[in-house]
Structure 1
């Protein structure tokens, strides 16, 4: 059972209002409602009765929600214990959206290994919609996220500011352009990332057009562009990390993409602290053009 959906249901039971409950989790009402319906299907019965004027708990909801609160309280207790003073487990779980740290990976790994030689780094693939919740619930210890707002409860270290590129079908008349502007692309349809965060919508919605081709993670954009013939939006490293024979990456004017390291503010374990410091140090050295000349721990 999806822990995120349980949290959504508990908040909805407290507010009895889809809009307010969705805003409490930094998610739009439509995907919030999809999570509630999916939970009800899994439980096998409606938990909420909906009318045009109000939301109320059904008898099944009255029985289910107290149990859900107890389960979440127990889970939060486990996460709190994990964040408290204890010996590190020797494994750091890193949530990765798309290419993560891109070209900075080798430098970060070297610094982490130098400080924590016995630490094992494991990767967990994330999607846009769940990138923050994976950190909140303790599924991962840190996450490399597309920083699009909606995570004021997390510690976010801005690591990379990346130029954006249009992902263009190779047969498109735009494929040969040296750079593109908003005027160049305004009449085209676009592949859309699945995610409800306002910052994500703002970053992708440069043309005002909406499409019907959706992708859940950055790695899916080139294939979606190739199969649909629509355009996509990506950050510069995708040219190397997600090559596809049927698309071209063309520089596109507009705001940059921000990649951040996200963690729980209460998590002060050495492994988490070391990883965050390594990412900051390597990113700072990269900005100075000194990645190969003695990276320090700033």
Structure 2
């Protein structure tokens, strides 16, 4: 049991609505509901009764929420005494999905260090399933994500869009192609990225029995090599995730959108500096690579 689960339970008790309670914590309703279910399993008793029309506290839930409110109030008072006002962090936690900013990392880091020389950058590995929710929950300060929709409550600064590539098994009939069309790959099985963002299905199979599931871009090449199915990636993966069992082949279709995501209510200088550095470097790269 952790403090975040206590806060989720208290908020749900106040709103009696999973969607509204999830919004309070900048998290999607599904992972919010899973966290409540995990808490109930840990306690061995239901805290909330659910029907299609209403959510209500059970007697055990009423007792638990009363204690949880008291504990959270004590914790908040203790933290306020120790930490004082919220200031810029000495370390900026950067959530990174896959290769993140790819070739732009060194320039972004240099710009951040020139403006905030005392600031440390710590990376936190993300996967498709949690790439937005980790930021919403405050576990990271900024996140470099694969923008596939479902993040209207966050601020997204897009970097230059990247060409997409098919990841094909070495020795397959597609492995010798210089470029692939959608007709070339029609009828082939695709590995499935795990996540509920609306645009993620375009990057693999939508699911079903017998699927090969991957949670992170870093696992795509290995999944293709072991299953013999196809995968999809953005161009920098050729360099960042090489694998002797696969080939990366250009594939027609929409490009990959990589973005720096932040919370709209986070106005700390360190966050603003990272966003500005990413925008500046991405703009320079776009001008250099454009026509």
Aligned to 2:129: 129
Q: TM-score, normalised by structure 1?
A: 0.79
- 1:68/1:257 CA distance change after superposition, 3 Å: farther
Inter-CA distance 135–70: structure 2 relative to 1 (3 Å threshold): farther
Q: In the aligned structure 1, how far is the partner of 2:286 from the partner of 2:7?
A: 40
2:153 corresponding residue in structure 1: 153
Corresponding residue SS for 1:144: strand
Deviation at 1:218, TM superposition (A): 0.9
Larger displacement relative to structure 2 (99-108 or 17-26): 17-26
Name the TM-score, length of structure 2 as normaliser.
0.81
Larger mean Cα displacement after TM superposition, 50-59 or 16-25: 16-25
Moved more, 88-97 or 101-110: 88-97
8 Å Cα contact 1:182/1:207 also seen in 2: no
Q: Distance in 2 between matches of 1:278 and 1:74?
A: 39
DSSP 3-state at the match of 1:165: strand
Equivalent runs, 1:26-41 vs 2, <5 Å: 34-41=34-41
User: Quick check: 59-68 or 205-214, which moved more?
Assistant: 205-214
Task: Give secondary structure in 1 for the equivalent of 2:267.
Answer: coil
Q: Structure 1 stretches of 5 or more lacking a match?
A: 291-298
- Report the CA distance shift for 1:272/1:19 in structure 2 as closer, same or farther (over 3 A): closer
Q: CA deviation at 1:47?
A: 2.8
* Conserved? CA contact 1:215–1:221, under 8 Å: yes
Give yes or no for contact 1:79–1:137 (8 Å, CA) kept in 2.
no
Count of aligned pairs? 287
- Cα distance change on mapping 1:21 and 1:232 into 2, 3 Å: farther
Distance 1:58 1:270, change over 3 A: same
The answer for unaligned runs of 5 or more in structure 2 is none
Assess if the C-alpha contact under 8 Å between 2:93 and 2:140 holds in 1.
yes
Output the CA distance in 2 between the equivalents of 1:184 and 1:70: 62
